[in-house]
Structure 1
Amino acid sequence: MTELSQYPALLSEIKAQIHAAQSRAMLAVNAELVQLYWHVGQTLHTRQAQSGWGAGIIPRLAQDIRNELPEVKGFSARNLDRMLAFARAYPQPQVFSPQLVAKMARVEIVPQAVAKTADKESVLWQLPWGHHALLLEKIKDLEVRCWYLGQTLVQGWSRNTLALQIKGQAHDRHGQLINNFAERLSSPQSDLVQQSLKDPYIFDFLTLEAGFHERELEVYLVAHIEKFLLELGQGFAFVGRQYHLTVGDKDFYLDLLFYHLKLRCYLVIELKRGDFKPEYAGKLNFYCNVVDDSLRHASDAPTIGLMLCQDKDNVLAEYALRGIDKPIGIASYELTRSLPTTLQSALPSIESIEAELNSYATAETHPES
């Protein structure tokens, strides 16, 4: 009877070992594939430089590989062009160590798989080929490309998510909000919080009439919680909307309450329609105090406040944070307005959008095509 009661734990342990081995095998296969593609691209680059071959050699090479190695996939003319561009973009891949990419991406945490990579080995091998193809196509500046590379490794972005982050120019928004983190948090926590938040936040998945109410914005954000969490970034766990707190004999309700799994702290988000007002900072400071006293565990970091307004005066926001005890950031948000009925006919149909998404998903599954 005792042996049977212990069997589920045994099964779980062995399943975990199998999944871990499968993950390591997939990482190893991906690393070998990306290295192969770099070496092929480097060979093409060298031969073109030495022999003066033009672009016409690549279609011929793709055809001959297809004829002589029909079982090998991923060597179409288009993908060979990508390999050539990949080798030219990173002529010395060993330079891109975990430490260098983390610095260029302005991140402090490197995933376990990358952290175990020796300094002499390249982080480039850790990223799937489809991600590399997308980065090379969309981002020409090396430093910006490395920012997305590092963030992808840390955040675990899929190819579709990476495309959305590039479209939203995430590199220009991270760490840009007005805040007092350096004064209210110890290092490196202050740096981690700074890089975990952004300005502005883009809620382009919402459409609201011009005279919307703040409560309406809350409801819509929670209704689209997956997209909301994607815009917030990795690590945010949703706790509740209009979260109830009691102080003395009075009731208070937080607009949105989150817990950040990496920062190990609560995050109070207050939403305001219109411009930022100085009194908002005092109210948010009050909420953070209450959360610290009533919800915060002894091992948690201090609660953070995030004020989101449609617009803000940076100087006014900086003055408002002076003397505030709690770590607070002030950022703006942008959202899609409801379109007039006369313009709605110009929008793409649901069918065309679905077709576009399906084609994009196919490109991610078969990036070599």
Structure 2
Amino acid sequence: MSATVLPGYGSFLEELKAKIKSAQIKAALTVNAQMLTLYWDLGKAIVEKSTQAGWGNAVVEQLSKDFTQDFPTLKGFSRTNLYAMRSWYLFYGEQDPIVPQLVGQIPWGHNRLIIDKIKDRTEALFYVQQTIQNGWSRDVLAHQIQTKLFARQGKAISNFTQTLSKPQSDLATQTLKDPYIFDFLSLTDEAHEQELEKALVSHITKFLLELGAGFAFVGQQYHVEVDGDDYYIDLLFYHIKLHCYVDIELKIGEFKPEYAGKLNFYLSALDSQVKSMEDKPSIGMILCRSNQKKVTAEYALRDMNKPIGIAEYRFTEALPENIRTELPTIEALEEELKKLKQDGRA
């Protein structure tokens, strides 16, 4: 039997499907919020009985048995999960009434991961808020915790407070990190800028994740022409929340003051030739392999009239010296392989 063709049915169907998906998402969020409210109340009750009534851990063990027997089809009442509920409540406590509402907006697995990995309450709430804002999966959340996003967020040197009006300057400051972690690249410290640029573009999804929410890739070696001369911006992005273009210039060595002057020129070209009336002023970022001379960077930006930030990037964390000295050298590995071949074992 052939499907009935009705004028405009396709768009009508898509509209209804969108409503159904939206309702499903809202229902899932409602269920999650109700479950976490229950977990919070259970954690609170367990803490109170463990201390006030002097029941200790016995209350968790008994509750696990009784819940399993009385609610055999419901999951989540194992002794491990009940202990997690208690730890969750103890970690945040009742110091701020907004906390249960805040942590109730992310899945239970995310909450458990945060309290397992983070010891500081302020840092934990940072990751809760970031998860809510960015819709992180548990794997992405784990990666952000592992790379210490809390310690890196908003730490780049910039002149945003002098060149941007509020709240644009505050948002731009929080958008930058220092350092950026490019642990998804297999480059050495000797890599050229072109190699780094090409590698980042080939891993654009992971690069965008490290840059943070809001970045949209525009182009590599983006061309601008000034007075008949050709210039090429390393990486050009548009930031949806900041409503502006972002020029990222990559440097393989340490920061030099002349980098800021050249980027200032690029931003002027972008604002004159690319930026629309609705866009905010373009922002520049200089990513260097090293930026140890902080005072030099601050002096370089002090009198610049364009918003520029400076930060480091790292490929992977360096191995401790005591571990590196115990690792075999390439020559030793080659010699061992040669012996194995001679013995007929390779």
Q: Which amino acid aligns with 2:295?
A: V
* Aligned residues of 1:202 and 1:334 also touching (Cα < 8 A): yes
| Cα distance between partner residues in 2 of 1:336 and 1:136 | 25
Matched, 1:328 2:308: yes
**Which position in structure 1 is the counterpart of 2:11?**
9
Alignment partner of 1:161: what SS?
helix
Alignment partner of 1:325: what SS?
coil
Deviation at 1:342, TM superposition (A): 4.2
Matched, 1:38 2:40: yes
Matched, 1:242 2:221: yes
Among residues 223, 228, 235, which one is paired with 2:202 in the alignment? 223
Matched, 1:177 2:156: yes
Q: For residues 93 and 66 of structure 1, do their structure 2 counterparts lie closer, same or farther at Cα, with a shift above 3 Å needed?
A: farther
**Which position in structure 2 is the counterpart of 1:126?**
105
* Aligned residues of 1:207 and 1:337 also touching (Cα < 8 A): no
Deviation at 1:283, TM superposition (A): 0.6
Deviation at 1:198, TM superposition (A): 0.8
| Cα distance between partner residues in 1 of 2:167 and 2:191 | 39
Using the TM superposition, name which of 188-197 and 244-253 deviates more: 244-253
* Aligned residues of 2:245 and 2:283 also touching (Cα < 8 A): yes
Q: Which amino acid aligns with 2:219?
A: G
**Which position in structure 2 is the counterpart of 1:319?**
299
* Aligned residues of 2:223 and 2:231 also touching (Cα < 8 A): yes
| Cα distance between partner residues in 1 of 2:96 and 2:34 | 15
| Cα distance between partner residues in 2 of 1:80 and 1:131 | 16
Q: Which has the higher contact order (CA 8 A, sep 6+)?
A: 1
**Which position in structure 2 is the counterpart of 1:300?**
279
Percent of aligned pairs with the same amino acid: 49
| Cα distance between partner residues in 1 of 2:44 and 2:302 | 55
Q: How does 1:130-141 map onto structure 2 within 5 Å? A: 130-141=109-120
Alignment partner of 1:75: what SS?
coil
| Cα distance between partner residues in 1 of 2:281 and 2:57 | 58
1:209-263 deviation digits (Å, cap 9, x = unpaired): 3321000001111111111111100111111111122223211111111111111
Among residues 24, 27, 30, which one is paired with 2:29 in the alignment? 27
Deviation at 1:64, TM superposition (A): 3.0
| Cα distance between partner residues in 1 of 2:88 and 2:116 | 10
| Cα distance between partner residues in 2 of 1:210 and 1:183 | 34
Q: Which amino acid aligns with 2:158?
A: N
1:263-282 deviation digits (Å, cap 9, x = unpaired): 11110000001110000001
Q: Which amino acid aligns with 1:304?
A: I
**Which position in structure 2 is the counterpart of 1:67?**
69
**Which position in structure 1 is the counterpart of 2:179?**
200
**What TM-score do the two structures reach when normalised by structure 2?**
0.87
| Cα distance between partner residues in 1 of 2:58 and 2:277 | 66
| Cα distance between partner residues in 1 of 2:302 and 2:93 | 48
* Aligned residues of 1:257 and 1:266 also touching (Cα < 8 A): yes
**What TM-score do the two structures reach when normalised by structure 1?**
0.82
| Cα distance between partner residues in 2 of 1:81 and 1:148 | 22
| Cα distance between partner residues in 1 of 2:8 and 2:151 | 52
Count of residue correspondences:
321
Matched, 1:54 2:56: yes
* Aligned residues of 1:210 and 1:337 also touching (Cα < 8 A): no
Matched, 1:163 2:142: yes
| Cα distance between partner residues in 1 of 2:208 and 2:133 | 16
Deviation at 1:135, TM superposition (A): 1.1
Q: Which amino acid aligns with 1:272?
A: K
Q: For residues 239 and 124 of structure 1, do their structure 2 counterparts lie closer, same or farther at Cα, with a shift above 3 Å needed?
A: same
Query: CA RMSD of the aligned region, Å?
Result: 2.3
1:266-319 deviation digits (Å, cap 9, x = unpaired): 100000011100000011111111111221121111110000001121100111
Using the TM superposition, name which of 35-44 and 64-73 deviates more: 64-73
* Aligned residues of 2:288 and 2:313 also touching (Cα < 8 A): yes
**Which position in structure 2 is the counterpart of 1:86?**
88
| Cα distance between partner residues in 1 of 2:329 and 2:82 | 43
